[in-house]
Amino acid sequence: MTVGFPWRLIIVGNSGRARAPSGGRAAGNPYGEEVHNATMTSTPQHKRARHPMPGFVREALERHGLMEAYHSRPPYQRNDYLGWILQARRDETKEKRLAQMIDELTRGDAYMKMTYRPRAGKKEETS
């Protein structure tokens, strides 16, 4: 019989046994305190897909003189901007998102409508 575990498991020593926090039944385990034959697997670390810069974004950054500002942002922000723009289905939406990115890079104090403050003294890598 397979039982779904709606609680987190805590491995106890090297025995391979696991316990539900707070003693099993109190934590929602109707089958008792110890949980036998629990298989613990590690989740692989997922990396974000890297998005290539489309020509229309490159042209807009160069036209507004913002390529340096773009490359001064952390790699995850650059990638998020590109993925967000490319994810749009309609050209109007892509243009609106590109305009927001251009505005935020021009101002230098925002990222995806959130406050952004670059770290002082740390030069970001370019990729």
Phi/psi at 123 (5° precision): -90, 125
The two structure tokens encoding residue 117:
């403050």
pLDDT range class, residue 119, cuts 50, 70, 90: confident
Question: Domain boundaries in the chain?
Answer: 1-44, 55-115
Higher-confidence residue of 46 and 80: namely 80
Cα maximum dimension of the chain = 67
Predicted confidence (pLDDT) per residue in 27-64, tens digit: 555 544 444 444 444 455 668 789 999 999 999 999 99
